[in-house]
Amino acid sequence: MTALLSAACAALAVLSPASAFVPSPARAAGSQSALSLSRDDEIGTATRRGFLDNVATATAAIAGASSALMAPAPAMAYGLGKANDRLASYGLPGLKNVPNGYSALAEIYGKGANRSPLLVAFGFPLDWVVTLPSQDVNGEDGTIQAGEYAKGDTATFFVVPNEGKVENIQEKDKGFYKNALIAAISQKGSNIYQDFKVLNVSPVTADNGKYVLVDFKYTLLTGAGFEVERKGVASITSAGDGVQLLWAASISARYKNKTEGQLRSIVESFRCYADGLNFSADLRPAQQDIV
C-alpha cells in the first residue's frame, strides 16, 4: 500500500503539488513533508479515500491532457465576441446559447499542408486553458483543446482517420459512433482504456449542420496502474472531406456531481465548417520555417 501511495503522490506532485492534499498545520510549519506517506498522519487532514480520489483526478489529467504541456494560449486571446467576429468574417452564424461565464474560440485546424483546413468553434468555461496545434517545417501537429487540466476536465477536437465525407451523419449506426470515439480516446494506444460503452445517441440539427450527440463512459488505464472511470459527451459531424468530433470528459464522480451540464454545454456549442470556405488567408505557406 505504501509503494502504491508513493507512486500516486509522485503523479500528484508532477501535476499540481499545491492541490494534492488538504493543508495541515504540520505542512504549514514545514516540520513534516506532505510528500512522505510512511505514516497516516502525514496525509494531513485528508482521508485515504479523499487522497485516492485526488489521485484519480491527477492521473486522469496526466493521461488525458498531455497537450497541456505545450505553451497555452493566453485567456485574453479568446471570447464569445471574438469568436463570433471570426465566424462572421466567413459569412457564418455566431455561436448561440453559450452560457454566462463562458469564453469561446473559432480557430483554423489544418493550417499546415499535411491537413485539410477546418474552422472549429465552441464555447468553454472562462477559466479553462486553450492549447492549439503546433506548426513546423513538417506541417501541423496536435489539436484544438480546452480544459481544466488539474482536475482532468477536457474538451478535445478530433478528426476521425480514414473516414471520408458522410452525407448524413445522423443515419450512421451506434457502432460507427462508438468506433469514432474509441479512435479519439485511444490515440496513445489501445491499452489505455477498457469497458468503453455508448450510453445514448441524439441527433441534432443546428445552423444548417447535422450533428450527433453521444453520451459515453470508459475506464482509463494509467501507466501507474490506476483505473480511472470517466464519463463524457461528444458531438460528431461531417464537414469537408471527413468526419470530426468534439469530445468532452471528466472523471465519473465529477461528471455526476458537477461537470455534466458544463461538458454538455461545450459540445452542444460545437460547430465545424469547411464546405465553400476560402481559408487561403489563414493557411501557413508550404515549407515556411517556423522560428
Is pLDDT above 80 for 35?
no
**pTM for this entry:** 0.76
Average confidence (pLDDT) over 231-253: 97
Q: What is the pLDDT of residue 25?
A: 37
Q: From CA 147, how far away is CA 155, in angstroms rounded?
A: 6
pLDDT band at 285 (very low <50, low <70, confident <90, very high): confident
DSSP label of 73: B
Q: Are 172 and 146 in contact (CB under 8 A)?
A: no
**What is the grid cell recorded at 257?**
456531481
Q: In the block, which residue shows the cell 458544463?
A: 262
Give the number of other Cβ atoms within 10 Å of residue 203's Cβ. 12
Q: What is the pLDDT of residue 225?
A: 84
Is pLDDT above 90 for 248?
yes
Is pLDDT above 60 for 61?
no
Q: What is the pLDDT of residue 286?
A: 59
Q: Are 132 and 108 in contact (CB under 8 A)?
A: no
Q: From CA 132, how far away is CA 91, in angstroms rounded?
A: 23
Q: Per-residue pLDDT tens for 162-203?
A: 999 999 999 999 999 999 999 999 988 888 899 999 999 999
Q: In the block, which residue shows the cell 487532514?
A: 45
- Report the C-alpha dihedral over residues 75, 79, 82, 85, rounded to 10 degrees: 150
Q: From CA 213, how far away is CA 204, in angstroms rounded?
A: 7
Q: From CA 46, how far away is CA 40, in angstroms rounded?
A: 10
Q: How far is CA 246 from the centre of its chain?
A: 8
Name which residue leads in pLDDT, 25 or 83: 83
Q: From CA 158, how far away is CA 120, in angstroms rounded?
A: 10
Please tell me the least confidently modeled range out of 72-81, 226-235, 242-251, 276-285: 72-81
pLDDT band at 76 (very low <50, low <70, confident <90, very high): low
Q: What is the pLDDT of residue 222?
A: 85
Is pLDDT above 80 for 10?
no
Q: Which of 98, 107, 120, 84 is nearest to 264 (CA)?
A: 98
Q: What is the pLDDT of residue 46?
A: 43
**Do the strands 209-221 and 227-237 form a parallel or antiparallel pair, or are they unpaired?**
antiparallel
